[in-house]
């Protein structure tokens, strides 16, 4: 059973997106005053600046997706795996925030895509990997295949003083968490004091980011009401294929980039068409970058710094022809 938290166990959170996801570093109060800088992060890859606790978030790998607008197949996912494997020290755990696979009407084909996802994610040196489903994984079959591969679609666990909650807002077929899961969440959190650091990871945003593009959860308000009394809530999600940081009450919400085509900043018009960003052959991994998030040690808030990488190793600035030579697309 998890030990209750007190204020002293608060974590300071800093994070950096690898473009392929987000690297989050949790640092106990009283450690380095300025938190993890970008230099620290890059240095840490050479073993120069180890952090006490970090996690990586990867999202929207869509294994099985083929064709335009992005011909890369699983190449970005594989590159992300290599990048994470090169981190030193290694993160404690990997969070996958949904759309691990691209759906298929044929359950056997979809099962193959789950197997292909596991073959690639199995190359990660970090073996503690936690998953939530996206609608492409679980909306057509109510989460049956997902459960066969990864277990329940919602659950919680504790890790080094942080309480992690996985929420499923896809497998009902609609963007909804549902009364049963909300009741479970309330019960799950009841044992913690209001100062407990909580990380929620889910697929869709829990607030109305762009409902006309289905970037919302219909009962997200009810979920946020349950989380509202807690002082240090961070929500990590995917689905929107682009970076986003929003503050809802006291909670901080971060979307990770996808590992397949990206979406643009949505226009304000309700009827604006939802179209992915065009694929750039000269920069096939153009949307890779580092997002650094440093915690405020007195207010428990996070500051975000997005940095676009120029490193060939992470940014993939070589042309698509070079990437094509490295293997077959799905």
**What residue ranges bind other proteins (CB under 8 A)?**
102-103, 105, 135, 139-140, 170, 173-175, 208, 211-214, 218, 269-272, 274
Query: What residues contact residue 25 under an 8 Å CB cut-off, 6+ apart?
Result: 13, 14, 15, 16, 35, 36, 41, 51, 52, 53, 54
Q: 121 vs 217, which CB is nearer to other proteins?
A: 217
Q: 102 vs 163, which CB is nearer to other proteins?
A: 102
Closest C-alpha to 50, from 64, 62, 32, 69: 32
Burial class of 198 by CB neighbour count within 10 A (0 to 12, 13 to 18, 19+): buried
Question: Where do we find the tokens 């807002």?
Answer: 169
- In degrees to the nearest 10, what's the CA dihedral of 241, 80, 158, 173? 40
| Structure-token pair, residue 255 | 């979307």
Q: 208 vs 265, which CB is nearer to other proteins?
A: 208
Q: 145 vs 314, which CB is nearer to other proteins?
A: 145
Minimum CB separation of residue 113 from other proteins in Å reads 12
Minimum CB separation of residue 47 from other proteins in Å reads 42
Closest C-alpha to 52, from 21, 79, 25: 25
Minimum CB separation of residue 182 from other proteins in Å reads 18
Q: 1 vs 269, which CB is nearer to other proteins?
A: 269
Minimum CB separation of residue 211 from other proteins in Å reads 5
Q: 52 vs 211, which CB is nearer to other proteins?
A: 211
| Partners of residue 236 on adjacent β-strands | 201, 254
Minimum CB separation of residue 167 from other proteins in Å reads 17
Minimum CB separation of residue 21 from other proteins in Å reads 22
Distance (Å) of CA 285 to CA 41, 124, 138, 170, 328: 20, 20, 27, 28, 17
């Amino acid at each position: 059973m998890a030990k209750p938290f007190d204020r002293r166990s608060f974590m300071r959170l800093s994070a950096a997106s690898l473009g392929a996801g987000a690297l989050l570093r949790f640092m106990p109060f009283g450690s380095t005053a300025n938190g993890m800088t970008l230099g620290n992060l890059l240095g840490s890859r050479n073993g120069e600046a180890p952090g006490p606790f970090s996690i990586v978030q990867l999202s929207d790998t869509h294994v099985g997706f083929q064709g335009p607008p992005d011909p890369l197949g699983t190449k970005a996912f594989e590159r992300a795996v290599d990048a994470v494997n090169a981190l030193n020290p290694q993160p404690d755990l990997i969070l996958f925030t949904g759309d691990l696979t691209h759906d298929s009407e044929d359950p056997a084909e979809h099962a193959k895509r789950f197997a292909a996802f596991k073959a690639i994610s199995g190359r990660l040196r970090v073996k503690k990997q936690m998953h939530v489903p996206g609608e492409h994984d679980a909306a057509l079959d109510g989460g049956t295949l997902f459960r066969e591969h990864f277990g329940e679609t919602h659950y919680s666990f504790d890790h080094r003083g942080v309480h992690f909650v996985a929420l499923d807002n896809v497998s009902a077929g609609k963007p909804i968490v549902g009364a049963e899961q909300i009741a479970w969440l309330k019960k799950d959190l009841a044992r913690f004091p209001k100062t407990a650091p909580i990380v929620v990871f889910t697929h869709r945003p829990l607030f109305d980011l762009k409902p006309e593009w289905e970037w919302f959860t219909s009962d997200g308000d009810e979920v946020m009401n349950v989380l509202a009394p807690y002082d240090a809530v961070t929500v990590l999600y995917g689905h929107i294929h682009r970076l986003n940081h929003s503050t809802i009450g006291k909670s901080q919400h971060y979307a990770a980039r996808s590992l397949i085509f990206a979406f643009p900043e949505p226009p304000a018009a309700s009827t604006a068409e939802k179209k992915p960003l065009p694929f750039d052959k000269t920069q096939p991994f153009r949307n890779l970058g580092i997002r650094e998030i440093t915690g405020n040690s007195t207010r428990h808030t996070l500051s975000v710094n997005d940095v676009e990488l120029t490193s060939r190793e992470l940014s993939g600035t070589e042309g698509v022809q070079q990437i094509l030579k490295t293997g077959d697309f799905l």
